[in-house]
A and B are shown apart, each in its own frame.
Chain A
Amino acid sequence: MKLTIGNIRITDIVLGEQSKVENSTLFVNSKELEALLLEDGNIVSVCFDVAKPGESTRITPVKDVIEPRTKVCDGDCNCDCGIFPGVVSKVGTVGKGKTHVLKGMAVVTTGKIVGFQEGIIDMSGIGAEYTPFSQTINLVLDFVPRDGLAAHDYERSLRLAGLKAANYLGDLAKNIKPDEEIVYEFLSMAEGAKKYPNLPRVGYVQMLQSQGLLHDTYVYGVDMKQSLTTMISPTEVFDGAIISGNCVSACDKNTTYHHQNNPVVTDLFARHGKDLNFMAMIITNENVYLADKERSSDWTAKLVEMLGLDGVIISQEGFGNPDTDLIMNCKKIEALGVPTVIITDEYAGRDGTSQSLADVDVSANAVVTGGNANEVITLPKMNKIIGTQEYVDVIAGGFENNVQPDGSIVVEIQAIIGATNEMGFNKMSAR
């Protein structure tokens, strides 16, 4: 499957009369977009705001972050598909043809679903250094639901509203000439094995959070907890085949933006044909029941064996009991004689001296960490809050009486969106 990504640089967002992309500026007719989003009767109103890098602005609680994209296939890929297939666009295989991307910006959705919902994006100050979304120009959508709306329904409405908004904006770029183009080609197993017979066959196992309300991920619209471990072309993720319904564990949840820009995938593509042969991407889930964990990790290892891989990278999502899924995947693949590298993060206590993971095994001997989520920092007071700070003391990473007299807040970095992301889409390093 061959996909050309055309990046269209966005350097400003202006709320205006007409929605369009012009001279690297995204103009948004907020009334038109609002009308589209309010077609969902569960949403009473939506407030639009723009947050730019360097501003004294805090966005919280963040539900999702999404990058606007659109398909611009000209018929040569034989697809009639759209971004976010099975969710916003009709079901149809994506990951081929051409995709335009509004690069440098993001749609950020916020709205209180439950009282401990979390996720902070600071656009300046020390907190900005921990989140990649301090570097994007963010169109923030703050939603108000109808009274009495159940948490399930509100989560779904918010999730879909963010995707619809991103699709609406992405479509504005259909006829814009990209500033750069990147071609990704993922060969069939037979072609790939033949083309690079002397390079190690490397696969990527991506674990997707799937534990229930506020903890779900969808693939082509399918709730991943209902799926057996399966395979996907890595080019499909660039077109929104995987979307986030995960609203918790801000530091290590994968937003939809993370999925669209999965750095494990892009790095494997960058080294494909040089020092490795990127042969497969396997997606698996993280369920609550131990029997599910056994079944899914059995299937992960089975697929690795059937594909004849020489090495596997495994990325986790979330913390706590997904550590057990991670170690099961690692152990079972290593038991086949296939070496693994796992990407995780740590909950090593505020002093960093506690055991980092809730589960461990000697076979997990090659580990990349996104950092210690329990690290404590003080976020300075921001002049502008988009959303509400009402719940910062009950979010994961917050604690009682953590708002200081000067307006600063003391949190563990786990409260910050993407701070310890387990795909490696973060900025902390020991280098």
Chain B
Amino acid sequence: MRRESLRLSDRAKAGSFVLSFFITEMGVAAINKLLTNNFMAAQRFANSLDVDFRDLPPMDILKAARDLVHLGHKLLTHPVTSGTAPQGSPYVSIIISAEGATTDFDSVSIIESAIAVYTKTKIIHQLPENIAKDFMLIDCEMLAKDTQIYKT
């Protein structure tokens, strides 16, 4: 899965380069990034987002998102999903803007709060395959809209 996902990520990045170039030339916006540990989301959004799949626990995804936020990326989706997570779901998918010039302090605040939420919760890691797939599906569905419609 790890190897597949890396290949997928490479494909997504190649695609995103072309798309980014096109969009920039059109004077719109650079492509947004999907940071995720959900392989289903990585596949689903490979053609619309710059997919950064990492086969890591949720907390590591959040910390990676925090690093990106401090580099000037802005959170476009809330990192704490609702209802199912953070208690049960081992999957986190966050859409982040392309790199900006300055740090967005709202994003800093939100990602720090999200890390605080995950710090106090117990994630179930060993899930039966069918249930893991259901969690992947819900995680995907939370992002299921036009992923390019918002300006950053």
Asked if A358 contacts B142 (CB within 8 A), the reply is: no
Asked if B76 contacts A291 (CB within 8 A), the reply is: yes
Q: How far is the CA of A345 from the CA of B124 in the complex (A)?
A: 23
- Chain B positions 107-134 with a Cβ under 8 Å from a chain A Cβ: 110, 113-114, 116-117, 120-122, 124, 126-128, 130-131, 134
- Chain A positions 346-405 with a Cβ under 8 Å from a chain B Cβ: 347, 349, 354-355, 358-360, 391, 393-400
Q: Which chain B residue shows the least CB distance to A226?
A: B145
Q: Which of B4-12, B37-45, B61-69, B85-93 contacts A (4 or more CB under 8 A)?
A: B85-93
The verdict on B48 contacting chain A, using a C-beta distance below 8 Å, is no
Measured as residues with beta carbon below 8 angstroms from the partner, the interface class of chain B is 35 or more
Asked if A115 contacts B88 (CB within 8 A), the reply is: no
Q: Which chain B residue shows the least CB distance to A112?
A: B134
The verdict on B14 contacting chain A, using a C-beta distance below 8 Å, is no
Residue in B86, B88, B106, B137 whose CB lies within 8 Å of A394: B88
Neighbouring A residues of B127 by C-beta, 8 Å: 394
The verdict on B144 contacting chain A, using a C-beta distance below 8 Å, is yes
Q: How far is the CA of A397 from the CA of B84 in the complex (A)?
A: 10
Interface size on A, residues (CB 8 A): 44
- Chain A positions 195-239 with a Cβ under 8 Å from a chain B Cβ: 209, 211-215
Tell me, rounded to whole Å, the shortest Cβ–Cβ distance linking B88 to chain A.
5
Asked if B138 contacts A214 (CB within 8 A), the reply is: yes
Asked if B116 contacts A212 (CB within 8 A), the reply is: no
Q: Which chain A residue shows the least CB distance to B145?
A: A289
Q: Which chain B residue shows the least CB distance to A396?
A: B87
Q: How far is the CA of A248 from the CA of B144 in the complex (A)?
A: 18
20 contacts across the A-B interface (CB closer than 8 A): A114-B138, A213-B138, A213-B141, A214-B83, A214-B138, A215-B83, A215-B142, A248-B84, A288-B142, A289-B76, A289-B77, A290-B76, A290-B77, A291-B150, A320-B85, A347-B120, A354-B116, A360-B113, A391-B131, A400-B124
Chain B positions within 8 Å of A, measured between CB atoms, are 75-89, 95, 106, 110, 113-114, 116-117, 120-122, 124, 126-128, 130-131, 134-135, 137-138, 141-145, 150
The 6 closest A-B CB pairs, nearest first, are A248-B83, A115-B131, A321-B78, A114-B134, A249-B83, A213-B141
